[in-house]
Chain A
Amino acid sequence: MIDVLEDLIKGAVSEVFSTMLSIKTEPDSTLALLTTGGSHVATSVGFIGQITGIVFIYSNDDYARVITSRMLGLDPTEVDGEEMVNDSMGELGNMVVGHIKSRLCDRGMSCVLTIPSIVRGSQFSIQPVTSATRIVVGFRCDNTQQIAIEVLIKPEDKAQP
């Protein structure tokens, strides 16, 4: 399951970033989570059902602004305030997790998505409960930037019927 999930994350990020942003992404296992040093944006979208978990998409604040401008076809200087960035990053998370969720459902693990939410900060970390499985995949974007995806998932034997 974990192996499948990692592939699903890579496929989803590649598809969403190339289609919506024309950004080429390359998985890079050497990248660490972007939660310390500088301002960061973390988008979270949960999935609940026969498989339950939560997906975080981490980006630094400046790159979140670039992503927003690419998504809306604007110049980065035209991105107006945090609300616009939050909304775009939320929608990006919705698309990435929606893509993963669809593939999980096709494998018989039906679930529903939660509404995206945004966390901002410069020093924060996610502490999963001990029973959760954690997967982190880093991505290089257009060779110069990076994002990270973190998935926390309940073990399958504890998933809801």
Chain B
Amino acid sequence: MGRKILTVDDSKTIRLIVAKAFKTFDCEILEGSNGVEGLAVATREKPDVIILDFTMPIMDGYEMLSKLKADPDLKSIPVIMLTAEAGREQVLKIAKLGVRDYLIKPFKEDMIIERVSRVIELKPRGEAVAKAKNYDDVIQILVVDDKPAIVDQIRAGLADTKWKVEGVSAPGQAVDHCSSSSPDLIMVSLTLPENGGYTLFQMLRGSAKTKSVPVFGLTVKTDTDQQTRAQQSGFTGVLTKPIDFDELKTRVCRSLNLDTSLRYFATRDGALVMTLPVDFSQSVANEVGMHLRNKVNAAVDAGLDKMVIDLSQLKKADITLIKVGLNAIQLCHELSLKYSMIGSEAVCLECKNYEETKDWRLFTSYQDAMAQLGVKLAAAA
């Protein structure tokens, strides 16, 4: 559990509203129904922040705050007053008490989140879960661009993933969208009118809900000024148009710390199957290389003794591919795994031309490759 927020209010309704407001954040809500209970909980739990009502029975907020500030162990806990009374005298009195901030009732949930996030860092409750997500999970991506064609292009470019792309055309719509849902990643056009992209970025970073969501700037490749400005402004990264979707997927995975291994590795028919994708590139090779040893070790640990290296989706063989293939074969030798390989016709032919690969035996079907490993499969329908 993350931060501790103590809410002291005689109204159970207010305590419920506060608890609900912070439900999506990684924090524990503690409660007291008057100043006496509030002090007891504060002493026991040492909360990171206290949200304190003013008018309460038994001990009011003023008295509780005075006692809190007189206690060396508690005096540094920041206090936000939550009061229904907003007269000038009252506000001055509150200010003199040494409170960090105050909020006047009536209030909306996002107002209290915003005030608390000024005092302590709030992390979305799902952040830890998001970090454990993998490539095949649903990832919510919000694209803010006044050109609908770009949104459509991104949606089409990521159509082979389970990622969901939502598009809005203006910063205001993006803010509304983020208040009602929680995108995992946001892409913002840097050329929105009136510096809208930069203004939106500041708003996203100022909101507790989105402050840790990765935000990419979108601009054309030749606009280096925008790219520099976005980097200096603190954008997570800049994507240039036309968008290279292999690069985009890789950067999304890195930004969200997604486990990409399932994109390349699977267990099937009693064997570990490594499949290199059609969009094989140096960055994909790096990712595969990063996962390879762990996945093979894990497979052996789990009792597997066979591996299939599937190159059938590739259109050509180059030195990058050869290095990955040789690494996989080397690992199989080290761990005494039986292996077989599948390749497209083009890859089979090209492999004959390299000294390192001329002896590779590439099958053209999964069934044949498995038969080589001693696994008889039913013929494909």
Interface of A with B (CB < 8 Å)? 15-16, 19-20, 68, 71-73, 84, 87-88, 90-91, 94-95, 97-99, 101-106, 110, 112-113, 115
Contact = CB atoms under 8 A, between A and B. Distances in A.
A115 B57 contact: yes
Contacts of A19: 106-108
* Interface residues on chain B, size class: 20 to 34
B20 A84 contact: no
B84 A115 contact: no
Contacts of A73: 17, 20
A40 B262 CA distance: 61
B12 A87 contact: yes
A101 B11 contact: no
B87 interface: yes
Give the top 3 A-B pairs by smallest Cβ distance, nearest first: A98-B84, A105-B87, A19-B106
B376 interface: no
Given A72-B17, A84-B12, 15 more contacts: A16-B106, A20-B108, A72-B20, A91-B13, A95-B105, A98-B85, A99-B86, A105-B87, A105-B88, A105-B89, A105-B90, A106-B87, A113-B84, A113-B85, A115-B55
Nearest to B20: A73
B253 to A, nearest CB: 35
B322 interface: no
Contacts of B55: 94, 112-113, 115
A147 B10 CA distance: 25
Contact of B105 (A90, A98, A115): A98
A88 B87 contact: no
Contacts of B138: none
B16 interface: yes
B87 A102 contact: yes
Interface in B8-23: 10-14, 16-17, 20
B84 A94 contact: yes
B83 interface: yes
Interface string B76-104: 00000001111111100000000000000
B21 to A, nearest CB: 10
A103 B87 contact: yes
Nearest to B15: A87
Contacts of B106: 15-16, 19-20, 95, 99
Nearest to B11: A91
18 contacts: A19-B108, A20-B105, A20-B106, A68-B13, A71-B13, A71-B17, A72-B16, A72-B17, A73-B20, A87-B13, A88-B13, A90-B11, A94-B11, A94-B55, A94-B84, A98-B86, A104-B87, A115-B57
B107 A102 contact: no
Contacts of A68: 13
Residue picked from B20, B89, B105, most chain A C-beta under 10 Å: B105
Contacts of A91: 11, 13-14
Contacts of B20: 72-73
Contacts of A94: 11, 55, 84, 105
**Most interface-central of A73, A98, A99, A101 (chain B CB within 10 A):** A98
B85 A115 contact: no
Find the residue from A20, A90, A95, A101 having the highest chain B CB count within 10 A: A95
A84 B15 CA distance: 12
Nearest to B105: A95
Contacts of A103: 87
Nearest to B56: A115
Contacts of A106: 87-88
Nearest to B109: A73
A99 to B, nearest CB: 7
Contacts of A90: 11, 13
A104 B86 CA distance: 10
Contacts of B86: 98-99, 102
Contacts of A84: 12-13
Contact of B11 (A87, A102, A105, A113): A87
A68 B16 CA distance: 12
Interface string B105-122: 111100000000000000
Contacts of B84: 94-95, 97-99, 113
Nearest to B86: A102
Most chain A beta-carbon neighbours within 10 Å: one of B17, B55, B87, B89? B87
A128 B366 CA distance: 91
